[in-house]
Protein backbone atom coordinates (compact mmCIF):
# COMPACT_ATOMS: atom_id res chain seq x y z
CA UNK A 1 0.00 0.00 0.00
CA UNK A 2 1.32 3.41 -1.00
CA UNK A 3 2.57 5.64 1.80
CA UNK A 4 2.27 8.73 -0.34
CA UNK A 5 -0.45 11.23 0.65
CA UNK A 6 -3.55 10.91 -1.51
CA UNK A 7 -4.65 13.89 -3.61
CA UNK A 8 -7.58 14.15 -5.99
CA UNK A 9 -7.64 15.95 -9.33
CA UNK A 10 -11.16 17.34 -9.65
CA UNK A 11 -11.52 18.11 -13.37
CA UNK A 12 -10.01 16.95 -16.68
CA UNK A 13 -8.85 20.49 -17.42
CA UNK A 14 -6.11 20.10 -14.82
CA UNK A 15 -5.26 16.53 -15.83
CA UNK A 16 -1.87 17.69 -17.22
CA UNK A 17 -0.76 18.27 -13.62
CA UNK A 18 -0.78 14.55 -12.88
CA UNK A 19 2.85 13.85 -13.91
CA UNK A 20 4.23 16.63 -11.69
CA UNK A 21 2.21 15.35 -8.74
CA UNK A 22 2.94 11.64 -8.99
CA UNK A 23 6.44 11.81 -7.56
CA UNK A 24 5.18 12.99 -4.18
CA UNK A 25 1.51 11.96 -4.07
CA UNK A 26 -0.87 9.15 -4.81
CA UNK A 27 -3.01 10.81 -7.50
CA UNK A 28 -6.67 10.05 -8.12
CA UNK A 29 -8.73 11.51 -10.97
CA UNK A 30 -12.36 12.02 -10.06
CA UNK A 31 -13.60 11.82 -13.65
CA UNK A 32 -12.18 8.30 -14.05
CA UNK A 33 -14.75 6.83 -11.66
CA UNK A 34 -18.01 5.76 -13.26
CA UNK A 35 -19.40 5.21 -9.76
CA UNK A 36 -18.44 8.30 -7.74
CA UNK A 37 -20.22 6.98 -4.65
CA UNK A 38 -18.05 3.85 -4.66
CA UNK A 39 -14.92 5.98 -5.02
CA UNK A 40 -15.95 8.27 -2.16
CA UNK A 41 -16.72 5.29 0.07
CA UNK A 42 -13.43 3.59 -0.85
CA UNK A 43 -10.24 5.31 -2.08
CA UNK A 44 -11.80 8.73 -1.55
CA UNK A 45 -11.59 8.23 2.21
CA UNK A 46 -7.81 8.58 1.99
CA UNK A 47 -7.88 11.83 0.02
CA UNK A 48 -6.41 14.70 2.03
CA UNK A 49 -6.22 17.39 -0.65
CA UNK A 50 -8.05 18.29 -3.85
CA UNK A 51 -6.28 20.03 -6.71
CA UNK A 52 -8.96 22.13 -8.34
CA UNK A 53 -9.77 24.61 -11.12
CA UNK A 54 -11.75 27.17 -9.17
CA UNK A 55 -14.38 28.02 -11.78
CA UNK A 56 -15.98 24.57 -11.46
CA UNK A 57 -18.38 23.88 -8.62
CA UNK A 58 -17.36 21.51 -5.84
CA UNK A 59 -20.46 20.11 -4.18
CA UNK A 60 -20.23 20.28 -0.36
CA UNK A 61 -22.29 17.08 -0.25
CA UNK A 62 -19.42 15.35 -2.06
CA UNK A 63 -16.69 17.03 -0.04
CA UNK A 64 -18.38 16.06 3.20
CA UNK A 65 -17.95 12.38 2.38
CA UNK A 66 -14.14 12.65 2.31
CA UNK A 67 -13.50 12.55 6.03
CA UNK A 68 -9.75 13.17 5.79
CA UNK A 69 -9.98 16.10 3.38
CA UNK A 70 -8.10 19.15 4.68
CA UNK A 71 -7.20 21.27 1.65
CA UNK A 72 -8.61 22.47 -1.64
CA UNK A 73 -5.69 23.88 -3.63
CA UNK A 74 -6.96 25.93 -6.56
CA UNK A 75 -4.52 26.14 -9.42
CA UNK A 76 -6.49 29.14 -10.62
CA UNK A 77 -6.71 32.61 -9.17
CA UNK A 78 -10.51 32.37 -9.03
CA UNK A 79 -12.26 30.09 -6.58
CA UNK A 80 -15.93 30.88 -7.19
CA UNK A 81 -16.81 27.18 -7.52
CA UNK A 82 -15.75 26.55 -3.91
CA UNK A 83 -18.03 27.28 -0.96
CA UNK A 84 -15.33 28.81 1.20
CA UNK A 85 -17.49 29.44 4.32
CA UNK A 86 -18.66 25.80 4.24
CA UNK A 87 -15.08 24.59 3.87
CA UNK A 88 -13.88 26.68 6.80
CA UNK A 89 -16.77 25.51 8.96
CA UNK A 90 -15.70 21.93 8.19
CA UNK A 91 -11.97 22.37 8.78
CA UNK A 92 -10.95 22.49 5.12
CA UNK A 93 -8.39 25.09 4.01
CA UNK A 94 -8.73 26.77 0.61
CA UNK A 95 -5.83 28.26 -1.37
CA UNK A 96 -5.48 29.92 -4.76
CA UNK A 97 -2.87 31.44 -7.07
CA UNK A 98 -3.31 34.98 -5.86
CA UNK A 99 -2.56 37.68 -8.43
CA UNK A 100 -0.23 35.57 -10.56
CA UNK A 101 -1.92 36.16 -13.92
CA UNK A 102 -3.17 39.71 -13.31
CA UNK A 103 -0.89 41.31 -15.89
CA UNK A 104 -1.82 38.79 -18.57
CA UNK A 105 -5.55 39.21 -17.92
CA UNK A 106 -5.17 43.00 -17.96
CA UNK A 107 -3.31 42.87 -21.27
CA UNK A 108 -6.11 40.78 -22.74
CA UNK A 109 -8.84 43.10 -21.42
CA UNK A 110 -7.18 46.17 -22.89
CA UNK A 111 -6.56 44.29 -26.13
CA UNK A 112 -10.28 43.49 -26.45
CA UNK A 113 -11.19 47.10 -25.75
CA UNK A 114 -8.81 48.42 -28.41
CA UNK A 115 -9.90 45.75 -30.91
CA UNK A 116 -13.56 46.68 -30.46
CA UNK A 117 -13.13 50.44 -30.09
CA UNK A 118 -10.96 50.81 -33.19
CA UNK A 119 -12.78 48.18 -35.28
CA UNK A 120 -9.74 45.95 -35.64
CA UNK A 121 -11.71 42.71 -35.96
CA UNK A 122 -14.08 44.20 -38.54
CA UNK A 123 -11.13 45.69 -40.40
CA UNK A 124 -9.40 42.34 -40.60
CA UNK A 125 -12.57 40.73 -41.93
CA UNK A 126 -13.02 43.50 -44.49
CA UNK A 127 -9.49 43.12 -45.85
CA UNK A 128 -9.77 39.32 -46.05
CA UNK A 129 -13.19 39.47 -47.73
CA UNK A 130 -11.98 41.93 -50.37
CA UNK A 131 -14.65 44.49 -49.46
CA UNK A 132 -12.22 47.23 -48.43
CA UNK A 133 -12.58 50.44 -50.42
CA UNK A 134 -10.73 53.73 -50.06
CA UNK A 135 -13.92 55.42 -48.85
CA UNK A 136 -13.78 53.24 -45.71
CA UNK A 137 -10.94 55.46 -44.48
CA UNK A 138 -13.39 58.36 -44.37
CA UNK A 139 -15.36 56.69 -41.60
CA UNK A 140 -12.86 57.07 -38.76
CA UNK A 141 -13.29 55.72 -35.25
CA UNK A 142 -12.91 57.66 -32.00
CA UNK A 143 -9.63 57.71 -30.07
CA UNK A 144 -9.38 56.28 -26.57
CA UNK A 145 -7.37 59.28 -25.41
CA UNK A 146 -9.46 61.51 -23.20
CA UNK A 147 -12.19 58.91 -22.72
CA UNK A 148 -13.33 57.59 -19.34
CA UNK A 149 -12.68 54.07 -18.05
CA UNK A 150 -14.77 52.62 -15.23
CA UNK A 151 -13.32 49.60 -13.44
CA UNK A 152 -15.62 47.24 -11.54
CA UNK A 153 -13.52 45.63 -8.81
CA UNK A 154 -10.11 47.04 -7.95
CA UNK A 155 -8.14 43.91 -7.11
CA UNK A 156 -4.88 42.86 -8.74
CA UNK A 157 -6.47 42.68 -12.18
CA UNK A 158 -8.51 45.85 -11.83
CA UNK A 159 -5.43 47.85 -10.83
CA UNK A 160 -3.40 46.40 -13.70
CA UNK A 161 -6.17 47.31 -16.16
CA UNK A 162 -6.39 50.84 -14.75
CA UNK A 163 -2.67 51.49 -15.09
CA UNK A 164 -2.69 50.33 -18.68
CA UNK A 165 -5.68 52.48 -19.62
CA UNK A 166 -4.16 55.45 -17.87
CA UNK A 167 -1.15 55.05 -20.17
CA UNK A 168 -3.54 55.40 -23.13
CA UNK A 169 -4.62 58.79 -21.82
CA UNK A 170 -7.91 57.63 -20.33
CA UNK A 171 -9.38 58.94 -17.08
CA UNK A 172 -9.85 56.08 -14.61
CA UNK A 173 -12.53 55.66 -11.93
CA UNK A 174 -13.70 52.55 -10.16
CA UNK A 175 -16.34 50.99 -7.96
CA UNK A 176 -16.43 47.92 -5.72
CA UNK A 177 -18.41 46.46 -2.85
CA UNK A 178 -15.71 47.58 -0.43
CA UNK A 179 -13.73 50.76 -0.17
CA UNK A 180 -10.01 50.53 -0.80
CA UNK A 181 -7.95 53.05 1.16
CA UNK A 182 -5.04 54.34 -0.86
CA UNK A 183 -6.60 53.45 -4.22
CA UNK A 184 -4.91 55.39 -7.03
CA UNK A 185 -8.20 56.56 -8.57
CA UNK A 186 -11.52 57.93 -7.27
CA UNK A 187 -14.25 55.52 -6.22
CA UNK A 188 -17.73 56.18 -7.65
CA UNK A 189 -20.67 56.48 -5.28
CA UNK A 190 -22.39 53.51 -6.93
CA UNK A 191 -22.03 51.09 -9.80
CA UNK A 192 -24.77 52.90 -11.68
CA UNK A 193 -22.98 56.23 -11.23
CA UNK A 194 -19.79 54.63 -12.58
CA UNK A 195 -21.64 53.21 -15.60
CA UNK A 196 -23.30 56.53 -16.41
CA UNK A 197 -19.96 58.34 -16.35
CA UNK A 198 -17.86 55.90 -18.36
CA UNK A 199 -17.00 55.16 -21.96
CA UNK A 200 -15.57 51.72 -21.21
CA UNK A 201 -16.80 49.61 -18.29
CA UNK A 202 -14.11 47.06 -17.43
CA UNK A 203 -15.55 44.16 -15.38
CA UNK A 204 -12.76 42.83 -13.16
CA UNK A 205 -14.57 41.83 -9.95
CA UNK A 206 -14.55 38.42 -8.31
CA UNK A 207 -17.50 36.12 -8.99
CA UNK A 208 -19.66 35.42 -5.93
CA UNK A 209 -23.36 35.25 -5.06
CA UNK A 210 -23.10 38.98 -4.38
CA UNK A 211 -21.97 39.69 -7.95
CA UNK A 212 -24.39 37.40 -9.82
CA UNK A 213 -25.68 39.47 -12.80
CA UNK A 214 -24.17 42.56 -11.20
CA UNK A 215 -23.86 44.08 -14.66
CA UNK A 216 -27.61 44.26 -15.16
CA UNK A 217 -29.76 45.66 -17.95
CA UNK A 218 -29.90 48.96 -16.07
CA UNK A 219 -26.11 49.15 -15.81
CA UNK A 220 -25.66 48.17 -19.47
CA UNK A 221 -28.12 50.85 -20.61
CA UNK A 222 -26.29 53.38 -18.44
CA UNK A 223 -23.07 52.68 -20.36
CA UNK A 224 -25.02 53.50 -23.49
CA UNK A 225 -24.86 53.28 -27.29
CA UNK A 226 -21.38 54.81 -27.52
CA UNK A 227 -19.88 52.80 -24.68
CA UNK A 228 -18.20 49.44 -24.20
CA UNK A 229 -18.52 46.62 -21.68
CA UNK A 230 -15.46 44.38 -21.34
CA UNK A 231 -15.76 41.28 -19.14
CA UNK A 232 -12.73 39.28 -18.02
CA UNK A 233 -14.27 38.32 -14.66
CA UNK A 234 -16.76 35.43 -14.90
CA UNK A 235 -19.71 35.01 -17.24
CA UNK A 236 -22.28 35.03 -14.46
CA UNK A 237 -21.29 38.55 -13.38
CA UNK A 238 -22.93 39.98 -16.54
CA UNK A 239 -26.60 39.52 -17.44
CA UNK A 240 -25.77 37.95 -20.79
CA UNK A 241 -29.34 38.05 -22.14
CA UNK A 242 -29.58 41.76 -21.35
CA UNK A 243 -26.18 42.38 -22.93
CA UNK A 244 -27.15 40.62 -26.16
CA UNK A 245 -30.47 42.47 -26.32
CA UNK A 246 -28.74 45.83 -25.81
CA UNK A 247 -26.16 45.13 -28.52
CA UNK A 248 -28.83 44.07 -31.02
CA UNK A 249 -30.95 47.12 -30.25
CA UNK A 250 -28.00 49.52 -30.42
CA UNK A 251 -28.39 50.54 -26.77
CA UNK A 252 -24.80 49.40 -26.11
CA UNK A 253 -21.92 50.32 -28.39
CA UNK A 254 -19.77 47.22 -28.11
CA UNK A 255 -18.76 44.33 -25.86
CA UNK A 256 -15.61 42.32 -25.35
CA UNK A 257 -16.12 38.98 -23.60
CA UNK A 258 -13.58 36.40 -22.56
CA UNK A 259 -16.03 34.64 -20.23
CA UNK A 260 -19.59 33.46 -20.74
CA UNK A 261 -22.67 32.25 -18.87
CA UNK A 262 -22.11 28.80 -20.42
CA UNK A 263 -18.68 27.60 -21.46
CA UNK A 264 -18.02 26.75 -24.19
CA UNK A 265 -20.67 29.22 -25.31
CA UNK A 266 -22.81 28.07 -28.27
CA UNK A 267 -21.59 29.66 -31.51
CA UNK A 268 -25.12 30.24 -32.73
CA UNK A 269 -25.84 32.41 -29.70
CA UNK A 270 -23.50 35.07 -31.09
CA UNK A 271 -24.01 34.63 -34.83
CA UNK A 272 -26.15 37.76 -35.24
CA UNK A 273 -24.87 39.82 -32.30
CA UNK A 274 -23.05 42.91 -33.62
CA UNK A 275 -20.07 44.82 -32.30
CA UNK A 276 -18.46 42.08 -30.24
CA UNK A 277 -14.97 40.76 -29.63
CA UNK A 278 -15.17 37.22 -28.25
CA UNK A 279 -12.35 35.02 -26.93
CA UNK A 280 -12.50 31.51 -25.39
CA UNK A 281 -11.70 32.19 -21.70
CA UNK A 282 -8.04 32.57 -22.56
CA UNK A 283 -7.10 35.86 -20.86
CA UNK A 284 -5.32 34.36 -17.87
CA UNK A 285 -3.56 31.41 -19.46
CA UNK A 286 -0.16 32.16 -20.96
CA UNK A 287 3.08 30.21 -21.14
CA UNK A 288 4.36 32.62 -18.49
CA UNK A 289 1.46 32.61 -16.00
CA UNK A 290 0.47 28.93 -16.05
CA UNK A 291 3.80 27.65 -14.67
CA UNK A 292 3.60 30.24 -11.90
CA UNK A 293 0.10 29.11 -10.95
CA UNK A 294 1.07 25.44 -11.01
CA UNK A 295 4.10 26.20 -8.83
CA UNK A 296 1.92 28.11 -6.37
CA UNK A 297 -0.49 25.17 -6.12
CA UNK A 298 2.40 22.74 -5.57
CA UNK A 299 3.86 24.93 -2.83
CA UNK A 300 0.51 25.13 -1.06
CA UNK A 301 0.29 21.34 -1.19
CA UNK A 302 3.84 20.95 0.13
CA UNK A 303 3.24 23.31 3.02
CA UNK A 304 -0.06 21.66 3.91
CA UNK A 305 1.46 18.21 4.15
CA UNK A 306 4.52 19.57 5.98
CA UNK A 307 2.34 21.33 8.54
CA UNK A 308 3.67 24.74 7.52
CA UNK A 309 1.66 27.96 7.03
CA UNK A 310 -0.07 28.06 3.67
CA UNK A 311 1.47 30.67 1.32
CA UNK A 312 -1.72 31.86 -0.41
CA UNK A 313 -4.88 31.05 1.53
CA UNK A 314 -8.13 32.59 0.31
CA UNK A 315 -8.39 35.82 2.26
CA UNK A 316 -12.16 36.15 2.59
Catalytic positions, written as ranges: 234, 263, 281
Tell me the CA distances in angstroms from 103 to 8, 47, 161, 163, 289, one per residue in order.
Answer: 30, 34, 8, 10, 9
Measured on CA atoms in the order 21, 25, 26, 30, is the torsion positive or negative?
negative
Compute φ and ψ for 13, nearest 5 degrees. Answer: -60, -30
23 cis-preceded (ω within 30 degrees of 0): no
**Radius of gyration, alpha carbons of the chain:** 22
Task: Report the DSSP beta bridge partners of residue 283.
Answer: none
Amino acid sequence: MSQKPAVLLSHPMIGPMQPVLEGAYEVHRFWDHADPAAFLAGPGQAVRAIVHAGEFRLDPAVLGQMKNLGLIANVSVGYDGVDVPWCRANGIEVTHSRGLNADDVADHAVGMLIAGWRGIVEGDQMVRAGTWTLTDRMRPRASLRGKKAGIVGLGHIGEAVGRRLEAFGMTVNWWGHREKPGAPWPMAASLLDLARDTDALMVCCRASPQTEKLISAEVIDAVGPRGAVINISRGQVVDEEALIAALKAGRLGLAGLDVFAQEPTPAERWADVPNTVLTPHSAGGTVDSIPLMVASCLENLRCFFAGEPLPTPVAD
